[in-house]
C-alpha cells in the first residue's frame, strides 16, 4: 500500500516538474526582443538605411527591422515606424509601415510585397507641420495626419526585433544585417546624424555598436 502511494507520488512529481519546465520555457519565449540602438531626443522623424534579409520566424511570430519615431513620456504605445518585416507563414519579408496612438486609439499597418533579400533600402518616417509620412527609397508609402496621432516624438529607435526567442534576429554571424546612416529630423526641420546608444535583449543577439555610432551591424549568434 505504502509502495503504491510512493509510486503514484513520484509519478505526480515527475508530471509536475515536466509541466513546470514547459511553463518556464514558454514564458521565456514570448515577448518583444530588440537588437540595435536608440536616441532620446525631441524629433520630427527617423531615417535609416537598412539591409533586408530573410530570417527564420517561429510559429505565430515576426522578425523585423525598422526605424521609428515615438513618444516615451505619455503612457502607452505611441509610435510610427517603417522597415521590413516577415510574419510566420510568409516565404519572404515585406516592406511595411505602422503607427499607433494610445492617445487617440488609432492603429494602422500596411505592408507591400515583396522586400528583396540582401537589398539595402532607405526607410524614413518624418513629419511636417500637419502630416507624418512614411517613405521607402524616397517614395511615399503612406501618410497620417498628426491630429490622428496626437503625440509629440521624443525618441528615435533603430532596431531588429523578434517576438519569440526561437525567431532569428535579423542577420547571421557570417552575414550580419547592416544598418547605416541613422538620422533624425530636428524640431527645426533638419535631418542630422543620430548617434545611438547600444541596446540588445537576448544572449543570442549581438551587434558591433559603440556609443554614438550611426552605422553598425546586427546578427543572431546561432546562425
Partner 1 sequence: MRKGMIIFLIVTIIIGVCSFVVVSAHTSYNVVSPTSSSQESLSNSDMQEFYRRIGDFSIEIRTADETPTLTEEEAIEIAKKDVRGRIRNEAESIMAMYVKLTDRPGGKNSPALVLPGTNIVMEDIPVWIVTFHGADILYVGPGRMFNSNGEPITINVDPYVYGDLNIVIDANTGDVLETFSYSIPKP
- Looking at residues 137 to 156 of the shown chain, list those that interact with partner 1 (rule: CB under 8 A): 139-144, 155
Q: Which one of 134-142, 174-182, 183-191, 211-219 is the stretch in contact with partner 1 (CB under 8 A)?
A: 134-142
User: Which residue, 191 or 202, has its beta carbon nearer to partner 1?
Assistant: 202
Task: Please give the distance of CA 138 from its chain centroid, rounded to a whole number.
Answer: 22
Q: What is the dihedral of CA 180, 185, 189, 193, to 10 degrees?
A: -50
Q: Binding residue for partner 1 (CB under 8 A) from 56, 87, 191, 223?
A: 87
- Please identify, using beta-carbon distances, which residue of 20 and 192 lies nearer to partner 1: 20
User: Nine-digit cell at 98?
Assistant: 505602422
* Bridge partners of residue 17, in order along the sequence: none
203 binds partner 1 (CB under 8 A): no
For residue 217, the minimal CB distance to partner 1 (Å) is 19
CA dist 16 and 120 (Å) reads 50
Min dist. Cβ of residue 181 to partner 1 (A): 19
**Of the candidates 160, 204, 191, which has an alpha carbon nearest to the alpha carbon of residue 35?**
160
* CA separation for the pair 142, 163 (Å, rounded): 25
- When the beta carbons of 109 and 173 are compared against partner 1, the nearer one is 109
Binds partner 1 (CB under 8 A): choice among 105, 129, 138, 188: 105
**CB of 26 or CB of 188, closer to partner 1:** 26
| 201 near partner 1, judged by CB under 8 A | yes
Q: Does 196 participate in binding partner 1 (rule CB under 8 A)?
A: no
Residues 35/159, Cβ–Cβ less than 8 Å: yes
196: number of CA atoms within 13 Å, CB side?
31
Restricted to residues 60-79, the positions that interact with partner 1 (CB under 8 A) are 60-62, 64, 66, 68, 70, 72, 77-79
What is the nearest approach in angstroms of partner 1 to the Cβ of residue 7? 11
Residue 211 burial (10 A CB sphere; 0-12, 13-18, 19+) = exposed
Nearer to partner 1, 26 or 203 (CB): 26
Reported residue count of the chain is 223
Amino acid at each position: 500500500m505504502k509502495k503504491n502511494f510512493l509510486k503514484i507520488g513520484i509519478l505526480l512529481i515527475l508530471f509536475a516538474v515536466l509541466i513546470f519546465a514547459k511553463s518556464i520555457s514558454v514564458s521565456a519565449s514570448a515577448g518583444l526582443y530588440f537588437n540595435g540602438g536608440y536616441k532620446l531626443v525631441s524629433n520630427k522623424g527617423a531615417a535609416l538605411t537598412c539591409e533586408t534579409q530573410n530570417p527564420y520566424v517561429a510559429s505565430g511570430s515576426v522578425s523585423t527591422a525598422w526605424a521609428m519615431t515615438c513618444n516615451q513620456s505619455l503612457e502607452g504605445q505611441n509610435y510610427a515606424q517603417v522597415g521590413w518585416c516577415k510574419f510566420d507563414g510568409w516565404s519572404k519579408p515585406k516592406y511595411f509601415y505602422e503607427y499607433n496612438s494610445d492617445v487617440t486609439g488609432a492603429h494602422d499597418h500596411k505592408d507591400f510585397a515583396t522586400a528583396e533579400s540582401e537589398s539595402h533600402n532607405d526607410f524614413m518616417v518624418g513629419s511636417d507641420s500637419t502630416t507624418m509620412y512614411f517613405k521607402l527609397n524616397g517614395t511615399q508609402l503612406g501618410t497620417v495626419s498628426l491630429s490622428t496621432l496626437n503625440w509629440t516624438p521624443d525618441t528615435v529607435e533603430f532596431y531588429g526585433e523578434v517576438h519569440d526567442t526561437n525567431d532569428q534576429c535579423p542577420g547571421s554571424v557570417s552575414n550580419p544585417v547592416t544598418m547605416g546612416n541613422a538620422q533624425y529630423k530636428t524640431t527645426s526641420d533638419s535631418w542630422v546624424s543620430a548617434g545611438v546608444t547600444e541596446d540588445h535583449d537576448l544572449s543570442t543577439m549581438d551587434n558591433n555598436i559603440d556609443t554614438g555610432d550611426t552605422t553598425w551591424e546586427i546578427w543572431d549568434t546561432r546562425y
